[in-house]
Structure 1
Amino acid sequence: MTTPVKAFIFDLGMVLIDWNPYHLYRQLFDNDADIHTFLTTICTMDWNEEQDMGRPIKEGTELLVAQYPEHEANIRAYYGRWDEMLGGPIAGTVEIFNSLKASGQYKLYALSNWSAETFGIAQERYGFLNEFDGVVISGVEKTRKPFPDFYQILLNRYQLQPAECLFIDDNLRNVLAARELGIDSIHFVGAENLAEELGNRNITL
């Protein structure tokens, strides 16, 4: 018999919030191909995740500028104009979040790879970030998804049982890591699909 879900754990970027470096770099580059090259060879996701894991933004920025001085302006723009990477809320997912919240049946948590230095910007912009029952941010904890200890921080802090949780993340790597811990997980590909997945689990919205 399946254990009833008591808690939802949401990723934030690309699940509830349209965070995308292209929003910024389309103002700085002539075409998406050049942006792709820049984001896969210089300001890479691996580099970004070091800041998400607690490395100071200044340190990470200066490291890249020293390596790629010819790209200094665009490197400094990554965090200097970071707020321009934020689009709007992902409306369909926010509607699902609000429905789950209004039902009063579930606890709602956020587990996000996010720099502690920039998370406050998002909190001011998106009111629903203040509606969670708990938020665990990688930059604060100095660890991140997909490392098991990061998930465990959330479980321990809020006394959650893995079998009673449902985790939602757009990164399959993070989804698979959660499943290894016994947390049922949905790979987010869009709000419509998420609603279907919840329906398959007999969770009504």
Structure 2
Amino acid sequence: MRYTSIIFDLGAVLIDWNPRLLYRKIFDTETEIDHFLSHVATSDWNEMQDAGRSLAEGTEQLVKMHPQHETPIRAYYGRWREMLAGPIGETVELFHQLKQQPGLHCYALTNWSAETFPIALENYPFLQWFDGIVVSGQEGMRKPTPAFYELLLERYHIDRHHTLFIDDNARNVAAAEALGIESVVFTNAAALAEVLYEKGILPRPQ
């Protein structure tokens, strides 16, 4: 099959974002961090901001629910930059190689707050390589909502039957596959490279 489009997730695929990088400066033990991220500043709570809720509203709501954790809660977005470890270099290199392939276009579909995404744009020049980026916080919807995928496909006239979607979240991959988009769960750059070679999207190094 001839592929004409690659769709990337960003966090944990091209950009190393990890709240633990911040909370290791705030809490004394990994156990405390585990409890805070599992029971207070949960992924479900963070995804509400990714879906368009303002950082201020999300923060104030959580402080009211857990006033004893006010300081670390306010740090979540107040010190959000400290959660960024930088680009995942090996995957960025694969992205660079994909950009050199004739007739192949690259897009990003990301669950990301509209308020923090400009920080990523400022810090990671490779984001300018994409032919289009759709950000959940800007659209008021997020993966795995089918309409979010459809929005990307329609906006950039992407043929789903000649596309590969890459995401580290199996839930998001399953949603894409249900829409007829061939997908792969990202684990690391080496495994992704092998997929790209096997599918003939990138030439295998000699």
Whether these two folds match at TM > 0.5 is yes
- Asked if 1:96 is matched to 2:94, the reply is yes
Q: 1:134 aligns with which of 132, 135, 141?
A: 132
Partner of 2:6: 8
Q: C-alpha root-mean-square deviation of aligned residues, in Å? A: 0.8
Paired residues in the alignment total 203
- Asked if 1:150 is matched to 2:174, the reply is no
Q: Distance in 2 between matches of 1:29 and 1:107?
A: 43
Q: Distance in 1 between matches of 2:202 and 2:18?
A: 30
Q: Which amino acid in 2 is paired with 1:156? A: E
Q: 1:45 aligns with which of 43, 46, 60?
A: 43
- Asked if 1:35 is matched to 2:33, the reply is yes
Per the TM alignment, residue 32 of structure 1 is displaced from its structure 2 partner at its CA by: 1.3
Per the TM alignment, residue 4 of structure 1 is displaced from its structure 2 partner at its CA by: 1.4
Partner of 1:60: 58
Q: Distance in 2 between matches of 1:55 and 1:69?
A: 20
Partner of 1:172: 170
Q: Distance in 1 between matches of 2:155 and 2:126?
A: 21
Partner of 1:204: 202
Q: Distance in 1 between matches of 2:180 and 2:154?
A: 14
Q: Distance in 2 between matches of 1:104 and 1:74?
A: 48
> Once superposed, which parts of structure 1, at least 4 consecutive aligned residues long, lie more than 4 Å away?
none
Q: Distance in 1 between matches of 2:21 and 2:120?
A: 15
- Asked if 1:25 is matched to 2:23, the reply is yes
- Asked if 1:72 is matched to 2:66, the reply is no
Which secondary structure does the structure 1 equivalent of 2:94 belong to? helix
Q: In 1, are the aligned partners of 2:97 and 2:202 still within 8 Å (CA)?
A: no
Q: Distance in 1 between matches of 2:77 and 2:163?
A: 34
Q: Distance in 2 between matches of 1:55 and 1:180?
A: 27
Partner of 2:159: 161
Q: Which amino acid in 1 is paired with 2:65? A: Q
